[in-house]
Amino acid sequence: MTADEAVARLSSGMTLGIGGWGSRRKPMALVRALLRSPVTDLTVVSFGGPDVGLLAAAGRIRKLVAAFATLDSIPLEPHFRAARQRGELELTELDEAMLMWGLTAAAHRLPFLPVRAGLGSDVMRVNPGLRTVTSPYADGEELVAVPALTLDAALVHLNRADRSGNAQYLGPDPYFDDLFCEAAREAYVSCERIVEGGEFAAAGAPQTLLVQRHCVAGVVEAPGGAHFTSCVPDYERDEAFQAAYAKAAADPEEWREFTGHFLSGDEAGYRSAVAAFAEEWA
């Protein structure tokens, strides 16, 4: 399906998981399609990057569940920061391991999983709803009971996929995309290229076949679909474009101009605008 067709299956008020990590292999073509849609009032679960920044700037997020929101080479996602400082979204801050364990609990259809992460930290103070449990075994250790992060839908981007929904990563890290898909009632996978089942890259297979077809509701072929984040080895992060995106956060007029160039219209228009930007900056 197309990115717009995938997003047409989403609705306002959903809990939406977005894969990738910071400014790495984010499903940006799907995020842009979401911005073209009327879907709003979202609870977003993410290891946050520009996906969070764009949705926050557009006022689409009611609540964010995240361990961080970063552009990696720019430590704090500026559009997230601006929205948070304006009080425009509710935030649940979790330790990275707690977020992973919440997704794992949802993937296994469990109400919670115990973890040591968060104990003795302000994570417990800023999340007064978190509870602890005592191990029923001899040591009686106290652990955090991380609630399941059950998702209505998940969006992820992988290097390769087949038409059935099996998907492969070729870069250095899976970024928990499999957990996002397994924790969701429906998952949509965009990829750089759709291949036949026997044509997945041999390097590292089958371990790199990260996402399995049984938890995928739709596949979108989206070359460059993670831009401006990285999708190694297909391409690195577009640092010049990211710098312009971050700079625009400080100036409402500049942000309107930026979104007018890059977030209006379809993906073909986006690619044309990016090419013009690259030529201007060359």
- Domain spans of the chain, in order of start: 3-95+149-237, 114-147
Instruction: From 19, 17, 56, 61, select the one nearest 42 (Cα to Cα).
Output: 61
Whole-Å CA distances, 212 to 77, 138, 189, 219, 253: 31, 39, 10, 12, 44
* pLDDT at position 205: 62
pLDDT tens readout for residues 126-162: 999 999 999 999 899 999 999 999 999 999 999 999 9
Question: What whole-number distance in Å separates Cα of residue 97 and Cα of residue 271?
Answer: 36
* pLDDT at position 202: 67
Question: What whole-number distance in Å separates Cα of residue 262 and Cα of residue 130?
Answer: 40
* pLDDT at position 206: 65
Crossing angle of the two packed helices 28-36 and 50-57, in degrees rounded to 10: 10
Compute, in degrees rounded to 10, the torsion defined by CA atoms 26, 28, 34, 36: 170
CB 156, CB 177: distance < 8 Å: yes
Question: What whole-number distance in Å separates Cα of residue 32 and Cα of residue 50?
Answer: 11
Residue with tokens 């717009």: 4
Q: SS3 for 20? A: coil
* pLDDT at position 207: 77
Exposure of 262 in the CB half-sphere (CA atoms within 13 A): 22
* pLDDT at position 214: 96
Q: SS3 for 83? A: helix
Q: Which CATH architecture describes the domain 3-95+149-237?
A: 3-Layer(aba) Sandwich (3.40)
- Under DSSP, the state recorded for 148 is P
* pLDDT at position 39: 98
* pLDDT at position 269: 92
The ranges of the chain with pLDDT < 50 are none
